[in-house]
Amino acid sequence: MTALRDASPRELGTPVAIGTGAAIVRPAAAADDAARRALFARVAMEGDLGLTVCRDPDFDALYRMQACDWESWVVELDGRVEGTGTVLVRDGYLGDARRRIGYLGDLRFSPRAEGRMLLDRWYGPILRGAAERLGCELFLTAIIASNARALRALTVSTARAARAGRPRYTPLMDFDIRSLHLLPPRWRARSAGSVRVRRATDADVPALAHLLDADARARPFGEPMDERELRRRLAEWPGLAAQWFYVACQRDGALVGCLALWDAAPVKRLVVTAYRGRMRRVRTAYDVGARLLGRAPLPAPGDAFRYQYVTHQAVPSGDPTVLRALLDAAYRDARRAGYHFLSVCAPAADPLAPALRRFAATSLPARLYLVTLPETEIPAACFGGRAGFEMALV
């Protein structure tokens, strides 16, 4: 982890009197691990489906998987951690250049910390310091569309952002967090033309890396993927292995598409707190079907979903029949393994969207934003097409 260095005490760590108490915004330390995990466990993501994120046994494990550089902060009130947030930095393609790209995530405030103007006081200075230390000016972040509190707090007007020195939020891409229900059986589809799908082997790793990198180069913020980086992920992402990749091949053996299934449970679990509104009806219908088909019902409040992310997806041609063939094979294997659903990033107006239409699914709308300091010029290359964004690491 990159430590917070060269920051003045006034910028980071000085107690600030707010209301009847004192708030300290400071770099997260190893000793804060249990407190940050507890904060995530008690601050639910509200909506029709109430969820908390369990980051046992190591809060930072997810960060080590995705970035070499990151900085985390905590908000401390009366000696107790009541808020946290992180910025991670990786390389990414932007136009013809390779740049440092940040991701802002895991922002959580307890009810005690909300409404204390912490964002106006600290957000700008913290991000400005991180940008200087980490050599990064462009940051991504995702916000669920139903998270009204986050949208009000973060996506302030450009004029207010400039007055307060707050970062500005520029919409980049609307997408759905699409859950493909694994309840009904799925029969083997007819061949997608000359394409066949098989599980990968270690011998496919060089070709997989080449395919993933070629796909990334065509996307704003696409993540470079040479063979060394892919092998690092196979070694360091728990449960990710070459055999969890599905490859679509032409008759001559050339790869034209791929995706991987990854179970994040060793580093992140989604625990249900409540079913409300539409999700009550979804749960009732799902559980009736589960009993008829001899499948496990959806988890009760307090229990976690069993699911896999569809990750490392690349179909450079944009042909939805290739993605559909990959998803059909992945669906059958995940259903056989007893999972509840597959989680897929489904961007709006994506040419691959037809591949998802034949699956029973639930969608959670979200938006990807570009976050910049008020004085930062936004390159035109940031816009257009599906952004390079790994939903599995959010």
Domain assignment of residue 234, yes or no: yes
Return the half-sphere exposure (C-beta side, CA atoms, 13 A cut-off) of residue 340.
18
Q: Say yes or no: 324 and 256 in one domain.
A: yes
Domain assignment of residue 385, yes or no: no
pLDDT (0 to 100) of residue 152: 86
Instruction: Label residue 223 exposed, middle or buried (CB < 10 Å: 0-12, 13-18, 19+).
Output: buried
Q: Say yes or no: 156 and 32 in one domain.
A: yes
Q: Write the pLDDT tens digit of every residue in 272-308.
A: 999 998 889 989 999 999 999 989 899 999 999 999 9
pLDDT (0 to 100) of residue 190: 53
Q: Say yes or no: 165 and 25 in one domain.
A: yes
Domain assignment of residue 110, yes or no: yes
CB of 126 closer than 8 Å to CB of 12: yes
Q: Say yes or no: 157 and 252 in one domain.
A: no
The Cα-based distances of 182 to 219, 245, 367 in angstroms read: 30, 19, 25
pLDDT of residue 45 exceeding 60, the answer is yes
Distance CA 24, CA 18 (A): 10
Q: Say yes or no: 193 and 86 in one domain.
A: no
Return the half-sphere exposure (C-beta side, CA atoms, 13 A cut-off) of residue 333.
19
- Rounded to an integer, the average pLDDT of 23-37 is 93
Domain extent for 209: 179-365
Q: Write the pLDDT tens digit of every residue in 96-121.
A: 899 999 999 999 999 888 766 778 88
pLDDT of residue 162 exceeding 90, the answer is no
Domain assignment of residue 377, yes or no: no
CB of 108 closer than 8 Å to CB of 90: no
Transcribe 338-380 into DSSP letters.
T-SEEEEEEETT-TTGGGGTTS-EEEEEEEEEEEE-TTPPPPG
- Rounded to the nearest integer, the mean pLDDT of the chain is 89
Return the half-sphere exposure (C-beta side, CA atoms, 13 A cut-off) of residue 78.
6
| Six token digits for residue 132 | 């200087």
Q: Say yes or no: 195 and 265 in one domain.
A: yes
Domain assignment of residue 139, yes or no: yes
pLDDT of residue 199 exceeding 80, the answer is yes
Q: Write the pLDDT tens digit of every residue in 120-138.
A: 888 899 999 999 999 999 9
H/E element holding 23? Answer: strand 21-27
Q: Say yes or no: 204 and 218 in one domain.
A: yes
**Predicted TM-score of the model (pTM):** 0.90
CATH number for the domain spanning 296: value is 3.40.630.30
Q: Which residue has the tokens 């539409």?
A: 278
- Rounded to an integer, the average pLDDT of 18-31 is 75
pLDDT (0 to 100) of residue 114: 77
Number of domains in the chain: 2
Distance CA 92, CA 101 (A): 6
Q: Say yes or no: 87 and 120 in one domain.
A: yes
Residue that terminates a domain, selected from 125, 151, 174: 174
Q: Say yes or no: 25 and 122 in one domain.
A: yes
